[in-house]
Amino acid sequence: MKKMSPIVFQHLTTLEEKFNCYFPSLKTDEYDGVRNPFIESSSNTGLLLCEEEKLACISSDRGLTIKHVEVPIDTFWIAVKEEYPSLAKKALTILMQFSTSYLCELGFSTLHNIKSKNESGYVVLKKK
């Protein structure tokens, strides 16, 4: 057991160091304009002047206001991507921060399915 302790300690130390790289601390109020471009927000400081003007165009478009209420936020930004490409790209980049974890989760799910056996001893592959 004593031989295992340094290995576990080293692994946890490395994990702690890498954690902030993969999951940075976020100030969510900075992204109010992404979540709802129809509210007045002083937190859009990362936008260029032309992007701020386009955001003003979006926020004054009644049709987009209705669309924003009816569809999920990512679907909304995908829908306006053609007309407002730079804003949509920034918004989708913020919204999709954890998309890289998808393959990791898929791997864990597959491993779980491989390890799961039914009573006859055969591997049971579950469909999602």
| pLDDT average, residue stretch 41-46 | 62
Share of the chain above pLDDT 70, in %: 64
Residues 86 and 56 grouped into a single domain? yes
Structural domain harbouring 86: 28-95
Q: Is residue 51 scored above 80 in pLDDT?
A: yes
Is 10 inside a domain boundary? Answer: no
Q: For tokens 């999951």, what's the residue? A: 23
Q: Is residue 59 scored above 50 in pLDDT?
A: yes
**Residue 125 per-residue DSSP state:** P
Compute, in degrees rounded to 10, the torsion defined by CA atoms 21, 27, 33, 34: 30
Residues 82 and 102 grouped into a single domain? no
Best-predicted range by mean pLDDT (18-32, 43-57, 73-87, 90-104): 73-87
Is 114 inside a domain boundary? Answer: yes
Residues 57 and 105 grouped into a single domain? no
Tell me the pLDDT tens digit for each residue of 2-19: 677 888 888 888 888 877
**HSE-up (13 A, CA, CB side) for residue 75:** 6
Q: What is the pLDDT of residue 100?
A: 58
Is 62 or 45 the better-scoring residue by pLDDT? 62
Across the chain, what does the average pLDDT equal?
Answer: 77
Is 102 or 30 the better-scoring residue by pLDDT? 30
Q: Where are the alpha helices (DSSP H) in the chain?
A: 4-22, 32-35, 49-59, 62-70, 73-79, 85-95, 101-115
Residues 91 and 121 grouped into a single domain? no
Residues 77 and 108 grouped into a single domain? no
Is 89 inside a domain boundary? Answer: yes
Is 44 inside a domain boundary? Answer: yes
Number of domains in the chain: 2
Tell me the pLDDT tens digit for each residue of 75-94: 999 999 999 998 999 888 88
Residues 33 and 80 grouped into a single domain? yes
